A and B are shown apart, each in its own frame.
Chain A
Amino acid sequence: MKTDPSSSPAGRPANADALEARFALRLTAQLEGSARQAPHDISERLRVARQQALAQARRPTAARSPERVAAPAVMPVSLGSSGAAALLQGGTAGGDDTSLWSRLGWLLPALALLLGLIGIGQWHDMESIAAMAELDAELLGDDLPPAAYADAGFSEFLKRPLDVALPAHTDEAARSEPATQP
Chain B
Amino acid sequence: MATEQELSDFLQNIEKRAFKRTVYAVRDEDAALDIVQDAMIRLAQRYGDRPAAELPLLFQRILSNATMDWFRHQKVRNGVLRNFSDFEPAGVDEDFDLLEHLTSSHQAPGNEAEAADVAASRAQTLLLIEEEVARLPARQREAFLMRYWEEMDVAETAVAMGCSEGSVKTHCSRAVHALAKALQAKGISL
Chain A interface residues (CB < 8 Å from chain B): 2, 20-21, 23-28, 30-39, 42-43, 45-46, 49-50, 52-54, 56-60
A54 touches B126 (CB 8 A): no
* Dominant secondary structure at the B interface: helix
Query: A43 — which chain B residues lie within 8 A by C-beta?
Result: 16
Chain B interface residues (CB < 8 Å from chain A): 4, 7-8, 11-12, 15-17, 19-20, 29, 33, 36-37, 40-41, 43-45, 48, 100, 104, 125-126, 129-130, 133, 144-145, 147-149, 169, 172-173, 175-177, 179-180, 190
Complex CA gap A57/B11 in Å reads 12
Cross-chain pairs A/B with CB under 8 angstroms, 15 sampled: A25-B148, A27-B190, A30-B129, A31-B126, A31-B149, A35-B19, A37-B104, A46-B15, A46-B33, A49-B37, A49-B41, A53-B44, A53-B45, A54-B4, A56-B45
* Dominant secondary structure at the A interface: helix
Query: B180 — which chain A residues lie within 8 A by C-beta?
Result: 23
B49 smallest CB distance to A (angstroms): 9
Complex CA gap A27/B147 in Å reads 12
**Across the two chains, which residue of chain A brings its CB closest to B108?**
A37
Q: Tell me whether A57 and B37 are in contact in the complex, defined as CB-CB below 8 angstroms, given that A27-B179, A42-B19 are known contacts.
A: no
- A24-B148, A24-B175, A28-B145 given; 15 more Cβ-contact pairs under 8 Å: A20-B177, A27-B129, A30-B126, A30-B129, A31-B129, A35-B17, A39-B100, A39-B104, A42-B33, A49-B37, A49-B40, A52-B40, A54-B4, A57-B48, A58-B4
B33 touches A49 (CB 8 A): yes
Q: Tell me whether A49 and B15 are in contact in the complex, defined as CB-CB below 8 angstroms, given that A26-B190, A27-B190, A57-B7 are known contacts.
A: yes
B144 touches A50 (CB 8 A): no
B41 touches A31 (CB 8 A): no
Query: B37 — which chain A residues lie within 8 A by C-beta?
Result: 49, 52-53
Query: B43 — which chain A residues lie within 8 A by C-beta?
Result: 53
Chain A to chain B: the 9 pairs with minimum beta-carbon distance, closest first: A57-B44, A49-B37, A53-B40, A57-B48, A53-B44, A24-B148, A28-B149, A26-B190, A35-B16
Query: A34 — which chain B residues lie within 8 A by C-beta?
Result: 20, 126, 129-130
Complex CA gap A32/B177 in Å reads 20
**Across the two chains, which residue of chain A brings its CB closest to B125?**
A30
Query: A36 — which chain B residues lie within 8 A by C-beta?
Result: 16
Complex CA gap A59/B46 in Å reads 11
Complex CA gap A57/B59 in Å reads 14
Complex CA gap A58/B36 in Å reads 19
B37 smallest CB distance to A (angstroms): 4
